[in-house]
Amino acid sequence: MASNWCKRLAGLCSTVAAALAAALAVLLPGVAGAEASSGAYTVVGDAIPFPLNGAKGDAARGREIILNRHVGLCLLCHSGPFPEERFQGTIGPDLKGTGARLSEGQIRLRIVDPGRVDAAAVMPAYYRSEGLTRVAPAFRGKTVLTAEQIEDIVVFLATLRD
């Protein structure tokens, strides 16, 4: 009896979820490189232990996003083991060895919302859409990077172990 209910409930849930996903796809205009709002995630200590989109990222893509001066803009402030890049920043810590210092979950929170680690953080929140000030109208309510892009970056930075 109980298992029957579970089955029917699960069926209902997946129908509702599919309808929601379809509605969202219609409602959200296709914004390149930005999500309409940050999805829910759980912070445990100083980390977000699970991938934002439930999927493991791709390290090669993560490296590209970090180096891309139009997408991640990370090298404005950071330097790292990227010998081909001439101009690298010095405002933030060197990204070399990030994976040896921090777990994937710790890296994830530091990119999603550094202000949750240190209220005085200088680094922008790459996956926050609320509580920001002076955001240009076209970007209001949107995240800088998508959950997928953040996951790509997390996996890549975790490989920087020395």
| The two structure tokens encoding residue 50 | 């699970």
Q: Is 33 in the site for ligand HEC (CB under 6 A)?
A: no
Q: Which of 66, 65, 68, 71 is nearest to 92 (CA)?
A: 66
Q: Choose the stretch contacting ligand HEC; rule: CB under 6 A; options: 6-14, 32-40, 66-74, 135-143.
A: 66-74
Q: Is 77 in the site for ligand HEC (CB under 6 A)?
A: yes
Site string for ligand HEC, 104-133 (x = CB under 6 A): ---x--xx--x------xxxx-x-------
Give the C-alpha separation, 29 to 31, whole Å. 6
Pick from 47, 109, 147, 153 the residue near ligand HEC by CB under 6 A. Answer: 153
Q: Is 157 in the site for ligand HEC (CB under 6 A)?
A: yes
Give the C-alpha separation, 44 to 31, whole Å. 30
Q: Is 57 in the site for ligand HEC (CB under 6 A)?
A: no
Residues forming beta bridges with residue 44, ordered by sequence position: 47
CB of 65 to ligand HEC, least distance (A): 7
CB of 30 to ligand HEC, least distance (A): 21
Classify each residue of 84-119 as buried b or exposed e, where b means 16 or more C-beta atoms within 10 Å of its C-beta: eeeebeeebeebbebbeebebbbbbbbbbbbeeeee
- The secondary structure of 90-141 as a DSSP string is -SSPP-TTHHHHS-HHHHHHHHH-GGGT-TT--SPPTT--SS-SS--GGGTT
Nearer to ligand HEC, 14 or 68 (CB): 68
CB of 102 to ligand HEC, least distance (A): 6
Q: Is 161 in the site for ligand HEC (CB under 6 A)?
A: no
Residue ranges in contact with ligand HEC by CB under 6 A: 66, 72-74, 76-78, 91-93, 98, 101-102, 107, 110-111, 114, 121-124, 126, 153, 157
